[in-house]
Amino acid sequence: MRASEAPATQRPRERLTRNGADALTDAEVLALILGTGGSEGVIDLAHRVLRESGGPSGLARARPGQLAGIKGIGPAKAAEIVAALELGRRAARDLSAQRPVISSAEDAVALLEPQLVHLETETSLALLLDRKHRVLAEATIGVGGIAHAPLDAREVFAAALRYPGVAAVLVAHNHPSGDPAPSPDDLAVTRRLARGADLLGIELVDHVIIAARGAMSLAELGIL
């Protein structure tokens, strides 16, 4: 079935608009770039191009002349594919350059304090970092009451393992009381996180507590 013959809700363009680009298969993404597939149908053409070029990674390495030689592509479609891939590479480089780097507890506090310090309930977050400690993503781990927020090691590392490229994690939570001193529970959960990180081969950079009267780094306190 051609993309144009599929029900509207199943067409790649409509699914992208409704569910986001992540919901599309590799072939559907390529089909949107190709636009048309002639008598073969654009989805079938996209599947064949991916198969003949070695998948998305092979497509990214292919030269325009190689792509143009695939039946149904030609110079114009080859140029569109190469241009789309190059734009993606440039966007990735730009995003990488913009990612904040966590090189100290002060960096983490500067990044997280504005969103944590004024909360009236404890909230725990994890910064997911690459090998250079650049922030790839931020995950909310738990929201609790005035005196406790869930900071379960399983939730922290599940978030880390779901996101590609994560090599290190920094966890943080706030103390609505205003006192950043760690509680016995804070110390205990930090030690559990350290053991879990060691087993999984993920670096636990720090556990930072943020409060109105300052912030504390459990790494600087020697807990990690």
- pLDDT of 9 reads 47
Distance of CA 66 to the CA centre of its chain: 32
The answer on 44 and 112 residing in a single domain is no
| Domain interval for residue 58 | 3-98
Residues 192/157, Cβ–Cβ less than 8 Å: no
Q: Report if residue 80 sits inside a domain.
A: yes
Residues 130 and 165 in one domain: yes
Residue 68 and residue 12 share a domain: yes
Same domain, 18 and 40: yes
Does 116 lie in the same domain as 82?
no
Q: Are residues 109 and 204 in the same domain?
A: yes
Domain boundary among 39, 64, 98: 98
CATH, residue 71: 1.10.150
The series of mean pLDDT values per 10 residues for the chain, 224 residues long, is 50 81 86 83 90 87 89 91 87 69 92 86 92 91 67 87 92 93 92 92 95 94 89
Q: Are residues 203 and 169 in the same domain?
A: yes
| Co-location of 76 and 122 in the same domain | no
Examine the domain organization and report whether 171 and 203 are in the same domain.
yes
Question: What's the domain count of the chain?
Answer: 2
Query: What's at 8, amino acid-wise?
Result: A
Q: Specify whether 53 is located in the same domain as 121.
A: no
Predicted confidence at residue 171, as pLDDT, reads 95
- Contact assessment for residue 208 and residue 108, using Cβ atoms and an 8 Å cutoff: yes
Assign 62 to helix, strand or coil. coil
Q: Which of 98, 116, 144 is the last residue of a domain?
A: 98
Q: Which of 98, 119, 144 represents a domain boundary (last residue)?
A: 98
Looking at the domain assignment, is residue 61 inside a domain?
Answer: yes
pLDDT at residue 142, rounded to an integer: 84
In a domain, 206, yes or no: yes
Q: What is the pLDDT of residue 92?
A: 66
| Domain at 144, CATH number | 3.40.140.10
Query: What's residue 145's pLDDT?
Result: 57
Q: In what order do the strands lie in the sheet with 123-129?
A: 135-143, 123-129, 168-175, 203-211, 214-217
* DSSP class of 72: T
Beta bridge pairs of residue 25? none
